[in-house]
Structure 1
Amino acid sequence: MPKIVDEQARRERIAEAVWAIVNHDGLHAATVRAVATECGLSTGSIQHSFPTQAALLKFAMELIVSRASERINGLAALPADEVDISHPTATVKSAAPLTVITDLLLQLLPLDQQRETEARVWAAFSTAALTQTELAPYARHMDCLLESFCSRCLQQLAPNVQPNHRALTEHAVQLHALLDGLTLHLLTNPSPDRNCQAARAIEHFLQSQANELATL
């Protein structure tokens, strides 16, 4: 009887091997041969699942988004059936508490080993996309997803503000920049105190923006 292969599970296993290599040696080291060795598969198996290097890296990044969405959905206090940061229309219920939105955003920061690995891969991928043209569209797409998620989080603090309101868009850009800055900050100089500072920074930002948006 032929062996049944769970292709999705294999693709995720391969992507996790990419994460491990990138985390320790950088994106340039994530060759097909190195990935095959890391996850115990043949190079032919890797190429069967991912015909090109760009396709492999793209899936590795998409899996980060998927895992982050799973964590967000796993929060006990989440006031919705599902929040998918990769879906442009997904949302949480109106007027979500500040603490809930803060917790959602903290899932995107490198505050534990899993999130640190994801953040390192994300940073390596984004940096490589500056010089590797085949990666640039994927990097821009991921960047837009994050900014859209920031916008939807802010909208929950002021549900009466229209999604396309200029102020909401501007604040989403600021929140996105804050997340990027905190991520780099925590990757380069991690500590428990800085983790707490990052959480407070996000909560203070959200509070100030909620107050401002409430006046619109």
Structure 2
Amino acid sequence: MPKIVDHAARRTELAHAFWNVTLRDGIAAASVRGVATEANCSPAALRYYFPSQDELLDFTWTFVLGRALARAEALDLPDSPLEAAQVQLEQSLPLDGERLAEARLWFTVASSAGSNERLQARVRELHTLLNRGCTEVIHRLREAGVVDPARDASTEAVRLHAFLDGVAFHMAMRAESYSAAQIRAMLRRHLEDLACP
């Protein structure tokens, strides 16, 4: 009887192998051969699912981003607008091992983008998603009276985005930079500061 292969599960396994190689050795090392070695399969077997490194990168990026978005959508947000913003924004910060690995993947891809249009498109995609999320949070807080009316909403969205990126970068490079409690306290202080003129 022929062996039944779960192709979706195999693709996910290969995506994890690509992710592991990229985080450990950089994206240049995540070639078809390098990922096949990590996944303990032949390059031909990997090419059956992903004919090129670009296709493997696309699948991995989509898989990781989809997981992050699903996690955010599953949140049970508190009624308090400030508390809801805190919980929502924490999802983009590396406060646990899973989110730390995601942040490291984002920054590895970003630092390797160079003139690679495919990688640049992925970086722009994530930037747009984060910017949109920050903008929505600021508008909701403003409608709830949490943001001082004198503050420019667009400027505050950019400032919030920069804060999240900066903290995520520090943690991705040196996870011991801050504790999860310190990061949460800094984010809360940033949000509370929005009420000030």
TM range (shorter): 0.7 to 0.9
Deviations 1:42-85 (A, max 9, x none): 3223223223212211222222221212322344x336xxxxxx
Aligned pairs, number: 192
RMSD, aligned CA: 2.6
Distance in structure 1 (CA, Å) of the matches to 2:102 and 2:134: 18
1:104 aligns with 2:88: yes
Pick which of 128-137 and 25-34 moved more: 128-137
Partner secondary structure for residue 41 of structure 1: coil
**Match of 1:45?**
45
Structure number with the higher helix fraction is 2
Letter in 1 for 2:86: T
TM-score between the two structures when normalised by the length of structure 2:
0.83
Q: Retained in 1: the 8 A contact 2:170–2:177?
A: no
Where structure 2 has 5 or more consecutive residues not aligned to the other structure, the ranges are 146-150
1:48-87 → structure 2 map (5 Å cutoff): 48-75=48-75, 77-78=76-77
Partner secondary structure for residue 117 of structure 2: coil
Identity of aligned residues (%): 35
Letter in 2 for 1:16: H
Deviations 1:142-177 (A, max 9, x none): 21112112222223323479xxxx933322221111
1:169-188 → structure 2 map (5 Å cutoff): 169-188=154-173
Q: Retained in 1: the 8 A contact 2:27–2:108?
A: yes
Q: Are residues 2 and 170 of structure 1, via their aligned partners in 2, closer, same or farther at CA, if it must alter by over 3 Å?
A: farther
Distance in structure 2 (CA, Å) of the matches to 1:8 and 1:96: 40
1:128-143 → structure 2 map (5 Å cutoff): 128-143=112-127
Pick which of 57-66 and 42-51 moved more: 42-51
Q: Are residues 167 and 48 of structure 1, via their aligned partners in 2, closer, same or farther at CA, if it must alter by over 3 Å?
A: farther
**CA shift for structure 1 position 32:** 0.8
